[in-house]
Amino acid sequence: MAPQDSTGRLAGKIAVVTGAASGIGATSAKRFAAEGAKVIVADVQVDLGRRVADEIGGAARFVECDVTDEGAVEAAIRRAVDEWGRLDVMFNNAGVVGAVGPIEDTDSAAWRRTIDVLLNSVFYGCKHAARVMVPQGSGSIINTSSIAGVIGGVGPHGYTAAKTAVVGLTKSIAAELAAKGVRCNAIAPGTIPTALTADLVSGDASNLAAVAEQTRQRFGKASDVADIANAALYLASDEAGFISGHTLVVDYARSVNGGSGRFTNSEASMIGIATTGHDRR
């Protein structure tokens, strides 16, 4: 083993991260590898995904994977097992904003697609990870929910429904797999600077600084994608060995403060709230 493998918090572990071409997934994949893991970088974005895997180097492989395709998710997991013999960490993280707008106008096809990307994908990831982890007698599954999965009114309807269901699915799977040595937890991020939120906040997916500044103004502290990678690292590691069925909210107290702060115009229109600049407190 390389020196890093013997000292890292994920020394010797094998991970699959979906949505790893960008944002939370990319940062987590790099962090996992820096802590000694080998990582499958799985995403639909081929160029960006390859770049992330190249940056990581020999400890990473890129796999093109559309998480709405069960066979593709299974294949990403199989690649990890074929390359490195096992699967210790499954991070079901890929996501999109999905269907937006008032409920009366929400497009049904866009709704179904939202549930496919944000919820059915997590089911596929959990199912196929469990098929490897249960026979091993160990493993950590991590599902990306959202602050919209723990309180209402902070995300579009389909997104909120899917992310809330991810919390329930996480509990259900944790309950089943506890006796089999496999843990399952969720992470519920607040607003974190990634392409997804930068696009919403500023109309420019690369303007991550605008998101960090907005969270500083609205909630009292600038958010950082590393905040979520750190949470994922903890749940992936043996340090969280007695934690299962938990949703780790990483939002700097936003959800316990009623989702406080001010809606931006784009958020208000996504949720179908007519009044913009409305102070929710």
- Separation CA 15–CA 37 (nearest Å): 7
Q: Which of 95, 139, 156, 259 forms a contact with ligand NAD (CB under 6 A)?
A: 95
Smallest gap from Cβ 100 to ligand NAD, in A, equals: 13
Q: Active-site residue 163, yes or no? A: yes
Closest CB to ligand NAD among residues 144, 170: 144
Q: Active-site residue 124, yes or no? A: no
DSSP H/E element including 83: helix 70-84
Site string (19-58) toward ligand NAD, x via CB under 6 A: x-xxxxx-----------------xxx-------------
CA angle centred on 237, ends 14 and 173, rounded to 5° = 85
Beta strands in the chain (DSSP E): 14-18, 38-43, 60-64, 89-92, 139-144, 182-189, 247-250
First to last CA, the chain: 54
Among 32-40, 193-201, 231-239, 241-249, the segment contacting ligand NAD (CB under 6 A): 193-201
Q: Active-site residue 159, yes or no? A: yes
- Separation CA 109–CA 130 (nearest Å): 30
Q: Annotated catalytic residue: which of 124, 140, 159, 252?
A: 159
| Cβ–Cβ under 8 Å, residues 197 and 222 | no
Closest CB to ligand NAD among residues 87, 229: 229
Is 185 a residue that touches ligand NAD (CB under 6 A)? no
Among 31-39, 66-74, 81-89, 129-137, the segment contacting ligand NAD (CB under 6 A): 66-74
DSSP 3-state of 169 = helix
Q: Using CA of residue 63, residue 28, residue 126, residue 240, what is the dihedral sign?
A: positive
For residue 172, what are the contacts with CB-CB under 8 A and spacing of at least 6? Answer: none
Q: Which of 114, 164, 194, 244 forms a contact with ligand NAD (CB under 6 A)?
A: 194
Closest CB to ligand NAD among residues 59, 150: 150
Q: How many residues bind ligand NAD (CB under 6 A)?
A: 28
Chain residues binding ligand NAD by CB under 6 A are 18-19, 21-25, 43-45, 65-68, 93-96, 117, 144, 146, 189, 191-192, 194-197
